[in-house]
Amino acid sequence: MRAMGTTAVHSARVQPPEQRLPTFRLLRRMIDNPVETWPRAVYQERVFRSRILGCEMLYIMAPDLVRRVLVEDADEFEKGEIFRRGLGPALGDAILTADGSRWRWQRRAVASIFRPEKIRGFVPAMIAAAEQTCDRFRSQPPGTEIDIGREMMRTTLDIILNTVVSGRRGIDWDLMQQSIDHYLEPTAWIMALTMAGAPRWVPYPGIRRARRAREHLHRAMDALIDDARRNPGDGQDILSLLMRATDPETGTSMTEMDLRYNLLTFITAGHETMALVLTWTFYLLSLDPQVEERVRREVAAETGGGPLRAEHIEALAYTRQVIQEAMRLYPPAALIVREARRDLRLGDEDVRAGTTVFIPVYAIHRHEAYWRKPDEFDPSRFEADAIEARDRYTYLPFGAGPRICIGQSFAQWEATAVLATIISSCRLRLRPDYIPELRLRVTLRPAGGMPMRITGVQDSV
Ligand code: HEM
């Protein structure tokens, strides 16, 4: 195992409360930052029970029970009211939000889009977007401070532009990004109100802005679909594939509404999460120059100093380990939520129908029983032997079971392609003494951004 220096211990982490918080403080903190309500027991125990007003919550950390909920007994659970209320208005009844047969046929219909040979075809667009980012960095005077979080949002949006909607213009991507932020901002309120049993009509701060944002997003999707019908292009982008997608069992294809909601699902699911993985990876590398140098050397050895291509990416084993470890410490989807459909028993726990089941991925990834020195950054945890020796259900950045992230391979290619491209020509350093604060808004973000200086750039190869 790599000798760990002081830089390998990171300050950017959640300080869990020692005990369950009293109800009022719990609700307040849940609105502010739900991940800060998880008590220390969630990082130590197999399960943890909590209740807010009338709402029963069960946190599941034990790998055997996680496997039951997500895999073996997946049909006994659904996404539930928190999910439907939080994301349903924007994403409708599409693949991420639907349950039962509605979900099943959509998953079957889009499966072929994510076949390896299709994803490989998208890799040049991923590399091109990262090269554009390097060009932006090169055009800045040395020492310029940037927000790498924003830069990565822009890079991953460029990738979407070229893979999901194949360069279709006529859409204001800044406004799109802002609308996604405005929509997600009050989701912690929705979570708290759902748990408190408040009816759906109860207003909350930011509701009007969120509604306007949602309407904007829907109009933008409808315009993209309309454009794709009138100008089909080469028919190989994800939108065209969605338009042609049919359920192999029933032959069902998507209605206009299905298309709108699934397109928005792919754009949002594939953009925000990706930008965060890269942001947190650059953060960790900035604090650990030894690891950073090893990644840089690996990329140079594979490419021989020439341009990066898809075939090099497959060989970047250490770079992939670094990304996996970044997703352990900062999983973009830090919480997976389910609701029990009926009364059942999970290990020693009786679970009543309607109980909210939390799979607190962030805490499982730092659980004291599953990880040695859990807060330390150590990519050797993802060497093949180490992975083999561990229970698969202690590492869940993409979930597990039938609802596992359909974009997992796409995401792994994209993260490796972007990191390898940028690291070969740019050096980024975190603003001295800056400690990012973690905030959960469906995804785990650095509140206040991630300020970094561009301290070195090389000309493109
Ligand atoms: C590092 C980046 C990503 C992370 C961490 C991530 C994480 C996840 C997780 C944890 C789930 C399961 C949610 C649950 O069980 O409730 C999920 C589902 C999903 N993800 Fe991703 N994702 C990423 C990238 C992507 C990309 C690039 C796409 C599409 C291009 C995508 C599309 C989806 C979709 C459509 C689902 C719903 C699948 C279903 O319910 O059948 N994701 N993602």
DSSP string, 76-89: GEE-HHHHHHHHHH
Query: Of 82, 81, 21, whose CA–CA distance to 50 is shortest?
Result: 21
Q: How many CB atoms neighbour CB 206 within 10 A? A: 18
User: How far is it, in rounded angstroms, from Cα 120 to Cα 256?
Assistant: 28
Alpha-carbon distances of 343 from 54, 62, 63, 415, rounded to whole Å? 17, 20, 21, 41
Q: Please, which pLDDT band fits residue 461 given cuts at 50, 70 and 90? A: very low
- How far is residue 154's CA from residue 209's CA, in Å, rounded to a whole number? 22
Any atom of ligand 1 within 6 Å of the Cβ of 107:
yes
CA distances from 409 to 274, 326, 423 (A): 12, 16, 21
Closest atom of ligand 1 to 238 CA is 30
The set of long-range contacts for 187-190, using a CB threshold of 8 Å and a minimum separation of 24, is: 187/86, 187/87, 187/441, 187/442, 188/30, 188/31, 188/32, 188/33, 188/34, 188/440, 188/441, 189/31, 190/82, 190/85, 190/86
pLDDT tops 90 at residue 337: yes
Q: State in Å: Cα 225 to ligand 1 middle.
A: 22
pLDDT at 46 over 90: yes
Longest dimension (CA), the chain: 62
Report how far ligand 1's centroid is from the alpha carbon of 337 (Å): 13
Ligand 1 pocket mutation, candidates 110, 165, 241, 405, criterion most atoms within 8 A of CB: 405
Whether pLDDT at 288 is above 50: yes
Dump pLDDT digits (tens) for 213-243: 999 999 999 998 988 888 877 777 888 888 9
Report the distance separating Cα 214 and Cα 89, nearest Å. Answer: 8
- Please give the distance, rounded to the nearest whole angstrom, from the Cα atom of residue 398 to the centre of ligand 1: 6
**Which protein residue's CA is at the shortest distance from atom 24 of ligand 1?**
270
**Ligand 1 site, residue 403, Cβ cutoff 6 A:** yes
Distance between Cα 25 and ligand 1 center (Å)? 31
Q: Which atom of ligand 1 is nearest to the CA of 337?
A: 16
pLDDT confidence bin for 127, thresholds 50/70/90: very high
The residue nearest atom 11 of ligand 1, judged by CA position, is 405
- In whole angstroms, give the CA distance from residue 274 to residue 155: 10
Q: List the residue whose alpha carbon is closest to atom 37 of ligand 1.
A: 96
Residues in contact with 382: Cβ distance below 8 Å, sequence separation at least 6, in sequence order: 320, 321, 324, 325
In this model, does residue 2 exceed pLDDT 50? no
Q: pLDDT-derived band of residue 169, with 50, 70 and 90 as boundaries?
A: low
Q: How confident is the model at residue 5 (pLDDT cuts 50, 70, 90)?
A: very low
Ligand 1 pocket, residue 277 CB under 6 Å? yes
Confirm or reject: Cβ of 269 under 6 Å from ligand 1: yes
User: Is pLDDT above 60 for 380?
Assistant: yes
Average pLDDT of the segment spanning 338-361? 95
Does the CB atom of residue 360 touch ligand 1 within 6 A?
no
Kindly report the protein residue whose alpha carbon is nearest to atom 42 of ligand 1: 407
Contact 428, 102 (CB under 8 A): no
265 in contact with ligand 1, CB cutoff 6 A: yes
Whole-angstrom distance, CA of residue 243 vs CA of residue 228: 9
Q: One-letter amino acid identity for 210?
A: A
Identity of residue 35? V
Residue 6 has pLDDT above 50, yes or no: no
398 lines ligand 1 (CB under 6 A): yes
- In short, whether 86's Cβ falls inside 6 Å of ligand 1 is no
Band (pLDDT 50/70/90 cuts) for residue 112 is confident
Question: Across-strand partners of 146?
Answer: 452
pLDDT over threshold 60, residue 54:
yes
Is 104 near ligand 1, meaning CB less than 6 Å away?
no
On whether the CB atoms of residues 353 and 96 are closer than 8 A, the answer is no
The mean pLDDT of 79-108, rounded to a whole number, is: 89
Please give the helix or strand (H or E) that residue 57 lies within, else none. Answer: strand 55-60
Place of tokens 């009211």: 81
Residue 212 in tokens: 């306007």
Ligand 1 atom closest to 404 (CA): 12
More reliable by pLDDT, 417 or 55: 417
Q: Which residues pair with 78 in a beta bridge?
A: 339
Report whether residue 399 contacts ligand 1, using a CB cutoff of 6 Å.
Answer: yes
Is the beta carbon of 83 within 6 A of some atom in ligand 1? no
Q: Is the pLDDT of residue 451 over 90?
A: yes
What pLDDT, on the 0 to 100 scale, is given for residue 170? 67
Residue nearest to atom 9 of ligand 1 (CA): 398
